[in-house]
Amino acid sequence: MSAPEVPFLNCDLGECNVGEGSPTPDHLLMPWIAAANIACGGHAGDPASMRRVTTLALSHSVRLGAHPSYPDRANFGRTVMAISAADLEASLSSQISALRDIARDLRADLSHVKPHGALYHACEDPALAALIARVVEKTCPHAALVGRCGSRAVDTWRRLSRPVWTEAFADRLYLDDGSLAPRSTPGAVISDQGRAASQALRIAQGLGAPTASGGTIPLRPTTICIHSDSPGAALTAQRVGAALRSLIQ
């Protein structure tokens, strides 16, 4: 039996509008990642930032992905929003299409779509997961959907015959059920770069991720994520990226 492929590194980018500045500039993260999830106007981002990040990603041969969210910039897309299914579908279609059109203008296409924040976790609802799959089918039918390893969202998308990337996290703390510890939990965001790299390496080697209780949760992801807005994200990207690359050299 052949060994499983080493997960590749992805990162959420373009989450600061042009002119606002960024604690972790995208260009410091891009050399270490293989896939960029680009904010496309729902929680952050605008046409200028989308084009800038897309151009930067292409210069590094990084795969392009849309990172749509609830249309809720005030809460950075991290709060479940009371919105009709029709309005959410229209918003997500607009967000993804905006980035897709920029990519095509640059002679590229989207490889994946990863919901952001509250929408990512709300996809445990099969009806919402199906809505997102429907939007992706209409806007970029060949793109993979990105969801947490072991989630109901992944199960729903597979039942709908959608391509899927399963995801684990280097810079987030896990609970025993395989979900992420809420950001309000102390230690939920892993800011220690060495610890994040160690967690990514364990996951990539099939050893699972440590949990808040001291246990281990088994994970076999396609890709491992870090967040651009986590403390020390540039160094985290370097440490995690180097750790994953060491497994394929």
Largest CA distance in the chain: 51
Q: Domain residues of the chain, as ranges?
A: 8-246
The band of 19, judged by pLDDT with boundaries at 50, 70 and 90, is: very low
| pLDDT at site 97 | 98
| pLDDT at site 17 | 52
| pLDDT at site 232 | 86
* Angle formed at CA 227 by CA 247 and CA 40, multiple of 5 degrees: 120
C-beta atoms surrounding 92 within 10 Å: 27
pLDDT greater than 70 at residue 18: no
Summarised one tens digit per residue, pLDDT across range 73-105 is: 999 999 999 999 999 999 999 999 999 999 999
| pLDDT at site 21 | 43
Q: Which CATH superfamily is domain 8-246 in?
A: Glycoside hydrolase/deacetylase (3.20.20.370)
Summarised one tens digit per residue, pLDDT across range 142-178 is: 999 999 999 999 999 999 999 999 999 999 999 999 9
The band of 249, judged by pLDDT with boundaries at 50, 70 and 90, is: low
Summarised one tens digit per residue, pLDDT across range 177-234 is: 999 999 888 899 999 999 999 999 999 999 999 999 999 999 999 999 999 888 789 9
Q: Rounded to two decimals, what is the model's pTM?
A: 0.94
C-beta atoms surrounding 163 within 10 Å: 14
Summarised one tens digit per residue, pLDDT across range 227-243 is: 988 878 999 999 999 99
The runs of H, that is alpha helices, within the chain are 26-29, 47-59, 85-105, 117-122, 126-139, 152-159, 193-204, 233-246
Q: State whether residue 20 is helix, strand or coil.
A: coil
- As a whole number of angstroms, the distance between CA 156 and CA 175 comes to 22
